[in-house]
Structure 1
Amino acid sequence: MTDSTSPAPSHKNNSVGTQNSQSDDTVIAQMCTLIDAIKTHNYAYYVLDNPKLEDSEYDQLRLSLIELEEAYPDLIQPDSPTNQVGDIPLSAFTQVVHDIPMLSLGNVFEYDDLREFMRRVNDRLSDAQQNPEYEMELKLDGLAVSLKYERGQLVQAVTRGDGRVGEDITQNTKTIRNLPLYLTDAKDLSLLEVRGEVLMPKAGFERLNRLAEENGEKVFANPRNAAAGSLRQLDPAVAASRPLAFYAYSVNQGLPETIDTQSVALAWLKDIGFSVSAVEVVDSPRAAQAYYESIIETRDELPFEIDGTVIKVNSLGLQQQLGFLSREPRWATAYKFPAETVMTRLNTIEWQVGRTGQLTPVGKLEPVKVGGVTVSNVTLHNFGEIQRLDVRAGDMVSVHRAGDVIPKVTRVWTDQRPEDSEPVTLPTNCPVCDSPVVLPDDEALARCTGGLFCPAQQQEALIHFVSRRAMDIDGLGERWLISFFEHGLVKTVADIYELHNHRDDLITYEKLGEKSVQNIIDAIEASKKTTLPRFIYALGIRGVGEGTAQNFAQQFGDLDSLMNADMEALIETPDVGTITAELTYEFFRAQHNIEVIDKLIKAGVHWDNVEQVAAGDLPLDGQTWVITGALDSMARDEAKAKLQALGAKVVGSVSAKTTALLAGDKAGSKLTKAEKLGVKVVSEDEFLGLVKS
């Protein structure tokens, strides 16, 4: 994982003691590779302010080295970075030796790790001191800085550096707007040393990058880089122009003797003029977990980036008693958020065939936890994406997942690629039906030409048809559909409405009793009453999503008019381009599709025709809406359909271009953002009045 462009010094393979066995040599080689990578990335992160890795990926490197060193303590290399903090300071600034070293924090990532940390604390305390209080605060993602005040006057600001020696950035730090240069309430203290984090709030970071883009300048990768880069400008005027903020998190020298806890110390810092992060005092692992989870839920609403929480023994006396390891305190740790980007090995690449014949490559991963869930598969989207990433079976890859976002490969570590790896080639034939695979010129999407002859496409068409946003046949899930398909009970979507004739066969299926079969039959019967947009979408016409189906229904009013429409009429539909129009035209000219539609209608599938209204006459034409929270009167999908019927475009995120936000119960960050941007917020009652008018 080393970056050849970095000036970090190369590690030499020096062992401790005499190593004769091949296994020892292998372990040492692994240690050396990890040490080189960690040193390179330390230099990029701490010195150049240009990290090449996500924090979670860096944590993985360190953890891998620590695990090796714990398993083979006799083979620990003399220059291992596991006992070091940060990296060498920049030579452009005066170097300052810290009176008290600025150490890093250890990390925990799960509840069990948190409980283990607290157990270790208890092991070092007497019976009377067991289960102490803990103070929790936000883990700010910025640049650690130590400030010295003499008689209330700021006299020095120093970066962490390597933990022992940092850089004097006093003049740049004085430009930070929320940093007090003089502390009236500390004027009697000969020396006060306050430590904290310099960061760049999200809004300021976005403005800075936007301005840089407009001026054709380099943009920053993240707010942490922007803050560090701003403080390391040789011209203080540059730092003064940047939107920086300082948040204090500890007092290392000069704290009044009457203060004996971390929480009171932070309250005192706030009283004398410093900004501090949110603070919570807890007395058990469960209480700590509850605070941690509450912060995860609200982190997007914070004005600055955080990557976890910090938990500290609250008693300053117990902190002193517990002491330190070589690079971190025993009385504190960082409880990091679930990693959103992690490294793992991509073992193989398989090809799946969708309902429209598209071949999608799927990477089979060495299972890894990312974003709070264990991931073993990741989509590679299409053959063009494989070529862009140059990803191959056997590669080490970075996998990213945030919130409910589908995991994706964001980086391939070619320096760790197996020597025998081969580039991925596109299959010439469908892996399911053996029909030829085509990849049109200038396209990235390969397709099976088998059509409904291909079992994979038949199955996917069935699954799509019964899905919630299509015909919404509750209880008839993918598992049963595939089983019915394999046993010949259903071949096309029309066969679903004949399943009531196979009641006796269905009851014989394992885990499908008489009640479950009746529930399925009832759900199929209930689905016969639908809407024209849902039916059009359920047909699975390539390129026709929910929005296009809604537009077709609004444009033509009934199915016959849509089926008989020529290309010119189809293209006149709002938001329908030539390709979608061609695909729709061809779909309704295929005899087997017409036969299936006829069978569905004869089986009783029906809907009300849609009143045609010219696009410009729709009350919400040209407006963009967002829906958030839970609605009492209808599902959000139904609300979306009603908005689209009125001409609105419904999207998933709030921006300055949003016309209105429909806010139901328990609306969260979208509501907060809408209020900040001045976007109109519509209640459910107001919305119901709108759709009824």
Structure 2
Amino acid sequence: MAIDIQAKIEALTQELNDYNYQYYVLAQPSISDYDFDHKLKDLEALEAKYPEFRDPNSPTLKVGGDITQRFNTVKHRWPMMSLGNTYNEQELKDFDSRVRKVIGDQVQYVVELKFDGLSISITYQDGKLAQAVTRGDGTQGDEVTNNVKTIRSIPHQLKNGDYPENFEIRGEIFMHKSAFLRLNKEREENGEQTYANPRNFASGTIKLQDSGEVAKRPLDCFLYFLYCDNRNKQFHDHWHSIESVKSWGFPVCEHTKLCNSIDEVLNFIHYWDEARHNLSYEIDGIVIKVNDFAQQEELGFTAKSPRWAISYKFKAERVETILERISYQVGRTGAVTPVANLKPVLLAGTTVKRASLHNANEIARLDLHEGDTVFVEKGGEIIPKIIAANIEKRPADAVAIVYPSNCPECGTALIREEGEAVHYCPNDAGCRPQIVGKLQHFIGRKMMDVQGLGDETIETFFRLGLIRKISDLYSLKDRSDELVGIERFGQKSIDNMLKGIELSKEKPFEKVLFGLGIRHIGETVAKKLAQHFKNIDAIKSATALDILTVPDIGQRIAESIHEYLNLPEHWEEIEKLKSAGLQFEIEEKEVVLAGTGLAGKTFLISGVFADYSREELTALIESHGGKMLSGISAKLNYLVAGDKMGPSKLAKAEKLQVPIISESELLAMINK
């Protein structure tokens, strides 16, 4: 039973991580928002019941996504977190009840249209646009300043106003429906690939290298959230900050509204569920935010989203079309994913030609036959999904679709491990998409971050026989004469690439371990393994049971890395990478504290403070040896309380007899 539950959690985790990558990085989502959210809730429920099997890299703990290869990476000062989603009005009422339980009944909500575009964060210094960064993985994103400056609605210089010296403003870049249809028609006439929807077109445009080309495409933007130092003192709440932002010259959606009750929120949702079709741009729901900034801070955050905001998603639209054929894609891990190729049909304003079928179980569940008439839905008006086949229209001689037994790329017999829904090609050393995918994974930004080397170049080098394994990258410097002759690959490009490969040798051990592309080994797991074992030789010598002793490492992960490192061909490759100079052991650094006055003490911060922000107080506590907790419990030594602290936290602290101290008392403890 336990093994089955663990396998189910691991399979669902991998599936959702793949969907996240397709959505945030490739801008080519393959599942509807509705279905993704339901799968995510299924995983959350399983993890809550069986926390011992939760992957530390679980999508329930992540904002999602990754960083592209093309732009400078910038860390967000304030993380760009995702919002919790619901399609259910009762869940909105439950959200309202949870909010009132923490902060009392004096609560207002700001409701906003949920734009179907690309999230952006723009920094202004002295009223001038200084930097624009995409959402990326929520922690860091791509700097696209020059491209954002081409959007006419975004001011380069603010008019006079009481704006802060430095601030960030966040919003959504989108494309109007009419512009999308016109530009897509032009691409079709020019024989170029068309985009599936306006969101993908906007995302693809903002990530173009040539800002001159970006300027030719009519993008627009609405801005809806402000961040700055001492924001609470200057604006007090979200509604007044948005009113101020509008007065400074920023484009703010005219349909944003201040509501005094959850009933007013629901009325707003009901209106826009119908009226959205009359807008010139796509929306896929409504965002609800607690208005008061102090109340927002009191409600706080989960690991991936704020507790003071939620989004309501509109239900999907449905059409009928023909399933023409099923094709199969092989990923870098060998996973074989079926894709439904459909007779083109108009759905929610866009033409649908393809839909993901996820795995063999989905094909069997739908009982699909060749040439079936199928019902297709778009959740959140983005991704198509086959809901069911219309049995009444099925021809009498229709043949049931049978999942292939051999890899569509290399012909190797597929395997399906017990407890997993996905079929895999085991030929990782000879299957082209697996080899290329692993090489592309290795050079990625979160792995080895090899500058001057992109996915297309990897494809070219593989086709020309220059690389077959990761270690081949580090011998390219000895083959520079062969590189010179490659079309559109000049000496400057070669020099930049070789420099990037050389610099990658400085990447820490956990990056190298993650970059190897071992199944089930994500960024967080790689870091935990590196910190626990210190070097690759120690991991290789460990048994699967030894690896299981590492916190948050499950049986499937332990078996996967043990098996990988003990295959002779893999270890031979690692030895070559060692010889090339890559880091296969950690460099331990000594942490220097500002003081030890709070050592052994635990703290929680709540409310608004006169002289410090909550972030500054957190840093101060940790720099003097204190440890922060996420909630009130018997393990808490001190609750640091400011103004507007929520009544529920105060009551719980008093019940548990947790000492409540002020900002000045905390400083006195540190100074003592």
TM-score by length of structure 2 reads 0.50
Choose 1 or 2 for highest CA Rg.
1
Q: Taking CA–CA contacts closer than 8 Å with sequence separation of 6 or more, which of the two structures ends up with the larger relative contact order?
A: 2
TM-score by length of structure 1 reads 0.48
